[in-house]
Amino acid sequence: MARNKKGTPVHGWLNLDKPLGMTSTQAVGRVRRILNAQKLGHAGTLDPLATGILPIALGEATKTIPFAQDRDKVYRFTVKWGEATNTDDCEGTVISTSDQRPTPEAITALLPRFIGTISQIPPQFSAIKIDGERAYDLARAGEIVEIKAREVTVYALKLLKTAENEAEFELECGKGTYVRSIARDLGQILGCFGHVTVLRRLAVGNFTETDAISLDAFEKMMQSAAPDQVLMPVETVLDDIPALAMTASEVSRIKQGQTLKFISRQDVDRLSVAGIDEETNLVLAVGDSKPLALLEKNGIELHPVKVFNL
């Protein structure tokens, strides 16, 4: 006999505004308690130091987490000059100091070097795996490990304002970019050292500050509203994947994991109208006005790779 799952089945995305001092795991745990939800996950860790957008997937939306993790992100952050820390933020131990301070002109002149496809070394205290272990676990144990540089994409890096000992920036970047590494490298090149003191994520793809909800506000709303009145739909992060409406027969076959073949002229016309061509790799199957499955396209065949039980 199958064991009953604990909790309530809840499906969708929560655009959470994570508070200061809370880990991403703790934020997910609180959402779980508020909703008594069966299954949850988040799309991109935020350090306790950081605030801002933490997309949380519930139920069937967890199957789409990779699509949210791949989205571009926007950050606003403050760098304190004159000190380098072992964590590259204000939670670490100071390891180097300098009396030098950069001018706004020097900072602005340096920023183009950090735009485009750049090479950066993640912080020692990061989630990068070294021989199967997290770098931050090794760092906490006192080990200094060699972390290989990797390429990331930065679309924009702007200096917003400066003060005597700090500067505020806004960053738009692709996945895998470490803000702390940018702060560290800016300080090293400017000859004054630097580390992050304030970090806020403003956007993850189409999750933005405009419709983000704080934990306290969310808990209060759930006292009088149903989850589907607040949560964003499962397909929120699939907006760049072409959708194709399925017939009743196709819906049945997809639910059984069967491959569909689009051979006839009518089939080809359906694909064309939906914007599906030879370059398309994934298709969102829609049935009864709900997301049904993600289909992998291979020539004339569409094969279910993720089926949503909604």
Active site residues: 47
Q: How many helices (H) and strands (E) does the chain have?
A: 8, 19
Task: Give the integer Cα–Cα distance in Å for 2 and 184.
Answer: 52
Joined together, the tokens standing for residue 117 give 């496809």
Task: Give the integer Cα–Cα distance in Å for 21 and 47.
Answer: 8
Is residue 29 classed as helix, strand or coil in its secondary structure?
Answer: helix
Q: Give the sign of the dihedral formed by CA 179, CA 182, CA 188, CA 191.
A: negative
Joined together, the tokens standing for residue 216 give 């306290």
Q: Quickly tell me which residue has 């070097």 as its tokens.
A: 113
Q: How many CB atoms lie within 10 A of CB 271?
A: 19
